[in-house]
């Protein structure tokens, strides 16, 4: 029998200051903090209702390994968060209210625009509707 | 009215050779290729049935920016894919059949083990069940 992976469960971004990053992801993006890891290693946030986790890690710690296999990157990562078309005005306003600049808006085919902005570490974030991708059922 | 982000839509990993990485993610992990970007920039894969996208990027290209805001990392990233508990034997065997070493198995609380392995670029990948995280409804 053939099985398929069901979804990405954990997405990682690397940050310098976990508290600063958490403030951004909780206050601006409204994500729910699930866990803060010992020794400043990072934190985990729930995204939406489904099983979707954003991990924030300090690469200087995670590169050492230990309990977990070592990992860690330098530079600006990229992740996109799923929104619905009618939520675009809300998220534009919410970024503005928090002083977060919209770096770019891009339109793919006839979809509503994707909105690009940065977290405090410079990671490139995006709000996008799922119809920008040709998902098969 | 307050809105919430619905899920992570796009997760990014950075690779040196897009074709080599695609072979791994298609053949070993069974993901469905949705798009290959021009100029060796990267590729997009569908994960599962839901709207979940894994992006593979070559940082040397994406760092230049252009149409898209610049991003790109060096070092080993981390992502986890959601599986069900009864699929663990299948995925262990599938990694073995493709000569992919299991780097570690970790048990969180009373959950079935999470399985850690590497892609050809050294990114740290994980198969995990969603119950390892305390999701709120």
CB A13 within 8 Å of CB B41: no
For residue A24, the distance in angstroms to the closest alpha carbon of chain B comes to: 14
- Domain residue spans in chain B? 10-132
Q: Between A50, A53, A78, which is nearest B12 by CB? A: A78
Interface test with B, best of A2, A3, A8, A72 (most B CBs within 10 A): A8
Question: Is the domain B10-132 a CATH 3.10.180.10 member?
Answer: yes
Backbone angles phi, psi at B82, to 5 degrees: -85, 130
What local confidence, expressed as pLDDT, does residue B50 receive?
79
Return the structure tokens found at A13. Answer: 């971004």
In chain A, the largest separation of any two C-alpha atoms, in whole Å, equals: 51
pLDDT digit string, tens, across residues A31-69:
999 999 999 999 999 999 979 999 999 999 999 999 999
- Flag if B9 and A128 touch (Cβ within 8 Å): yes
Tokens at A33, concatenated: 């903090």
Q: Using CA atoms, how far apart are residues B42 and A111, in angstroms rounded to an integer?
A: 22
Chain B contacts in chain A segment 86-115 (CB below 8 A): 87, 90-91, 103-104, 106
Which 8-state DSSP code applies to residue B21?
A: H
**B93, pLDDT greater than 80:** yes
Structure tokens at A68: 């977990």
- Mutation site for B-interface testing, chosen from A1, A9, A123 by largest number of B Cβ within 10 Å: A9
- Does the complex come out with an ipTM higher than 0.95? yes
Q: In sequence order, what DSSP letters do the residues of A32-69 get, joined into one string? A: EEEEE-GGG-EEEEE-SSSS-EEEEE-HHHHTT-SSSP
Percentages of chain B per state (helix, strand, coil), in multiples of 5: 25, 35, 40
**A2 pLDDT above the threshold of 90:** no
Interface of B with A in 47-86 (CB under 8 A): 47-55, 57, 59, 62-63, 67-84
Position A1 pLDDT exceeds 80: no
Vertex B27, ends B26 and B29: CA angle to 5°?
A: 70
Q: What is the pLDDT of residues B59-85, one digit of tens each?
A: 999 999 999 999 999 999 999 999 999
According to the model, what pLDDT value does residue A50 have?
79
Name the residue facing B82 among A9, A118, A128 (closest C-beta).
A9
Q: Are the beta carbons of A95 and A102 closer than 8 angstroms? A: yes
């Amino acid at each position: 029998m053939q099985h398929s992976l069901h979804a990405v469960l954990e997405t990682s971004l690397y940050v310098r200051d976990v508290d600063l990053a958490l403030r951004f992801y909780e206050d601006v993006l409204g994500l729910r903090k699930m866990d803060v890891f010992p020794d400043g290693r990072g934190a985990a946030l729930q995204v939406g209702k489904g099983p979707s986790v954003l991990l924030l890690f300090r690469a200087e710690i995670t590169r050492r390994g230990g309990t977990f296999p070592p990992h860690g990157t330098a530079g600006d990562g990229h992740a996109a968060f799923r929104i619905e078309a009618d939520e675009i005005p809300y998220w534009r306003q919410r970024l503005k209210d928090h002083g977060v600049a919209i770096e770019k808006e891009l339109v793919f085919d006839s979809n509503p625009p994707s909105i690009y902005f940065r977290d405090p570490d410079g990671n490139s974030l995006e709000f996008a509707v799922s119809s920008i991708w040709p998902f098969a059922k």
